[in-house]
Amino acid sequence: MTAKVIDGKARAATIRESVKAAVAAIKAGHGFEPGLAVVLVGEDPASQVYVSSKVRQTEECGMRSIEHRLPADTPEAELLALVRSLNEDPFVDGILVQMPLPSHIDSDAVVLAIDPAKDVDGLHPENAGRIVLGKSGLVPCTPQGCIILTKDALGDDLSGMNAVVLGRSILVGKPVALLLQNENCTVTMAHSRTRDIPALCRQADILVAAVGRPAMVKGDWIKPGATVIDVGINRVAAPEKGEGKTKLVGDVAYAEATDVAGAITPVPGGVGPMTIACLLANTVRAACRIRGIEEPAL
């Protein structure tokens, strides 16, 4: 068996096109541009690249992009004051504070300060609670992308499927498990204390790997024909490319997995591109909900 490759890059492009069309319709029909504010504190290289990509794609979709880059020694009180000002800004529909933050800043306090209606990262407890209750809210972007790609592989009805989620982080593991439950899957969440993880994985029709350990999931962990969603993005040495070179790999041993799985997301090019695409879609949703206008299908 050779697994079908789930092309997250292509899927993300279709979402961006839908967002672009929705923004054009909003401008024509309601006379405003949805606005996304991104806040970066410090000079983490990966975060800088990520923020630049968000800003570029926001503008390419026709939305207003508001960017705040603050020095690493910015006091927590100053960051909180900025978040509160963005909450009150009528031109800002979505607020994203790039994580991780410098160690002297309490990230929980920053997330709590964001207006839940503008929390396009879906991290505020109110939005997290809505997922638990199965209610409409702003869903975290990476878990949202995982569900979209899973449905692309299996169809819209996931009812009755056994899903195993490796990892219990608040960013991916917990919310994706809840979203799968809301899709009527039977969900097991595995973590560092789980016994016999390989045997558990072999029961999964849907396997989501989000642990941050390169190639942890081996081919013989996978049920034949299962759909594998690899959220991991790990940089490892790549001596075959030359001395000191590196490459990105997922949490799944990809070459082994493709011989067993029915469908699989690659790394890179799988879940990663979906995160920003879903962020843009969330910004449009937030803009419509704040103003009480009909949401486009995205």
Residues annotated as catalytic are 54, 98, 121
Tokens found for residue 265: 């997301």
**Residue 285: beta bridge partners?**
none
Q: Judge contact between 58 and 41, C-beta under 8 A.
A: no
